[in-house]
DNA sequence: GTCTATACAGTGATAGAC
DNA sequence: GTCTATCACTGTATAGAC
């Protein structure tokens, strides 16, 4: 029997993927074990607080990723470039719609109430970071606010629809339209046809 | 002890609300009983197939509501009016963002795989009905397709964000922008301020 | 159509051996 | 850091009395 030894840094992404796919309620220890090959012993070793602690740390991990790769650039870097970078980062992170947003999925059911703070902070910061960047490109406050809100909302909606319709191209199509509305039309490349020329 | 007697017609909306709030995995019989005051006996009487049958019937019920109030009007009525009507119907149905979309929430986790067909049909029909109506207003096929996709996706995203940010006005704001993009700007009324004049 | 009792598998959680 | 055994409890499901 092969026995793999992990560190916490390795464990969180594995658990995150299980929670993302199964949802908080659907993610039982046995199912997490199936997907991650981490036994109950290991799981409780890393997360003595059980499932709730697991989910809290996973949320923090997601938030940290977005803070580094999306929020901070939007808040501090040259806005045009940061907005374009947000779109490619989002496309990568959500694997062009094949992966869903863990935070968004937690928001939809009663799980939200366990993690209200983290969930609220994530989206509020995303919208206001994007709004700030848009203002720095010269948009007025009102326009910036609603463009930012619409962009984040469209990303979430596109993730829902991609999974629901099984139309894998939907997410990229939506992202391209978001790019246009945010004034960075070239940020998302048109999917190239597989032709021989 | 008060003993209420139900018919199936009364039962489905109750169960639907429980599933909507708790999600498929989160909705255990004991929790459904808490919310609906329907005992396990009654539940199994109406849905001999257990939870899976409950959810399937609830999905069919939601789909029927949308078919009558949204899809068919879009497919058959005067397009401008049908689109405007869709927006007010959606605003009412989702209680201005206080209620989520059961079909969308099922799409996000592993529950989707149990009900792929129903979930896919719901969204595909919604988008194509709206797309058809837009074409009848004179839009070209491409524009109609992407406007329809964006509108449905924005509704789903707005539901996620409203619950996540706890900003109850977000949904109405988003709906108003959707109304504008669909060419029926007056469909959603601006929320009136409570002033004395 | 509803209630109660009961089944038995799966749940989150703990303790201790390795 | 991982494994196994075991805990009390909740899960879905069934049967039969009312």
Q: Tens of pLDDT along B11-61?
A: 999 999 999 999 999 999 999 999 999 999 999 999 999 999 999 999 999
At B184, phi and psi to the nearest 5?
A: -130, 60
Residue B14 inside a domain? The answer is yes
Selection from B178, B36, B35 nearest residue B97 by Cα: B178
pLDDT band at B190 (very low <50, low <70, confident <90, very high): low
Pick the residue with more confidence: B191 or B134? B134
Selection from A86, A56, A57 nearest residue A71 by Cα: A86
Listing DSSP states for chain B in one string gives -------HHHHHHHHHHHHHHHHHHH--HHHHHHHH---HHHHHHH-TTHHHHHHHHHHHHHHHHHIIIIIHHHHHS-HHHHHHHHHHHHHHHTGGGTS--HHHHHHHSTHHHHSHHHHHHHHHHHHHHHHHHHHHTT--HHHHHHHHHHHHHHHHHHHHHHHHH--TTHHHHHHHHHHHHTT-TTSSPPPPP----
CATH number reported for the structural domain that contains residue A177 in this entry:
1.10.357.10
Residue B100 inside a domain? The answer is yes
Give the C-alpha separation, B74 to A3, whole Å.
59
pTM for the full predicted model: 0.96
Residue B88 inside a domain? The answer is yes
pLDDT at position B186: 85
Q: With an 8 Å Cβ cutoff, are B166 and A120 in contact?
A: yes
pLDDT at position A41: 96
Chain B interface disruption, residue of A113, A160, A181, A190, most B CBs within 10 A: A160
* Chain B residues in contact with A23 (beta carbon < 8 A): 23, 25-26, 108-111
pLDDT at position B5: 87
At B194, phi and psi to the nearest 5?
A: -85, 80
Which residues touch A120 (CB under 8 Å, ≥6 apart)? B164, B165, B166
Q: For residue A118, what is the enclosing H or E element?
A: helix A116-136
Pick the residue with more confidence: B37 or B4? B37
At B167, phi and psi to the nearest 5?
A: -95, 95
Domain that holds residue B149: 8-182
State the nucleotide closest to A28 in CA–C1' terms. Answer: C11
Nearest Cβ partner for A100 among B108, B157, B159:
B108
Is A128's Cβ below 8 Å from some Cβ in B?
A: no
At B128, phi and psi to the nearest 5?
A: -75, -30
pLDDT at position B196: 47
Residue A36 inside a domain? The answer is yes
- The answer to whether strand C lies under 7 Å from the CB of residue B46 is yes
Selection from A150, A93, A128 nearest residue B153 by Cα: A150
Give the C-alpha separation, A149 to B170, whole Å.
9
Q: Which of residues 36-75 of B touch strand D (CB under 7 A)?
A: 40-41, 44, 48, 50-52
Give the C-alpha separation, A75 to A96, whole Å.
24
The overall average pLDDT reported for chain B is 95
pLDDT at position A195: 46
At B186, phi and psi to the nearest 5?
A: -95, 0
- The answer to whether strand D lies under 7 Å from the CB of residue A6 is yes
Q: First and final CA of chain B: distance in angstroms?
A: 51
| HSE of B134, CA atoms in CB hemisphere, 13 A | 26
- Show which of residues 77-96 on chain A sit within 8 Å of chain B, judged by CB atoms: none
- The answer to whether strand C lies under 7 Å from the CB of residue B3 is yes
- The answer to whether strand C lies under 7 Å from the CB of residue A39 is no
Residue A191 inside a domain? The answer is no
- Judge whether residue B3 has pLDDT over 80: no
Residue B192 inside a domain? The answer is no
pLDDT at position B36: 96
> Which segment of A113-122, B77-86, B180-189 scores lowest on mean pLDDT?
B180-189
Low pLDDT (below 50) residues in chain A: 192-197
Q: Do A65 and A13 contact (CB within 8 A), yes or no?
A: no
pLDDT at position B191: 57
Q: First and final CA of chain A: distance in angstroms?
A: 51
Q: At what angle do helices A116-136 and B141-165 cross, to 10 degrees?
A: 130
Residue B163 inside a domain? The answer is yes
- Judge whether residue B139 has pLDDT over 60: yes
| Percent of chain B topping pLDDT 70 | 95
Which residues touch B26 (CB under 8 Å, ≥6 apart)? A23, A24, A25, A109, A110, A111
Residue A3 inside a domain? The answer is no
Q: Strands, E, within chain A: which ranges?
A: none
pLDDT at position B197: 47
Q: What is the mean pLDDT of residues B161-168?
A: 98
pLDDT at position B187: 87
Q: Report which DSSP code applies to A7.
A: -
Domain count, chain A: 1
């Amino acid at each position: 029997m092969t026995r793999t030894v992990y560190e916490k840094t390795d464990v969180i992404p594995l658990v995150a993927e299980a929670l993302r796919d199964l949802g908080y309620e659907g993610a039982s220890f046995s199912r997490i074990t199936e997907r991650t090959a981490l036994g109950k012993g290991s799981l409780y070793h890393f997360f003595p607080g059980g499932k709730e602690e697991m989910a809290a740390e996973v949320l923090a991990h997601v938030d940290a990723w977005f803070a580094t790769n999306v929020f901070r650039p939007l808040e501090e870097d040259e806005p045009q470039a940061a907005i374009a970078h947000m779109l490619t980062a989002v496309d990568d992170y959500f694997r062009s719609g094949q992966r869903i947003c863990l935070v968004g999925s937690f928001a939809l059911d009663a799980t939200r109430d366990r993690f209200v703070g983290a969930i609220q902070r994530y989206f509020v910061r995303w919208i206001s970071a994007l709004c700030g960047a848009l203002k720095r490109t010269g948009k007025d406050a009102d326009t910036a606010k609603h463009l930012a809100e619409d962009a984040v909302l469209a990303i979430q909606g596109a993730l829902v629809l991609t999974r629901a319709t099984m139309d894998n191209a939907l997410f990229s199509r939506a992202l391209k339209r978001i790019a246009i509305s945010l004034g960075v039309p070239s940020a998302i490349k048109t999917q190239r046809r597989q032709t021989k020329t």
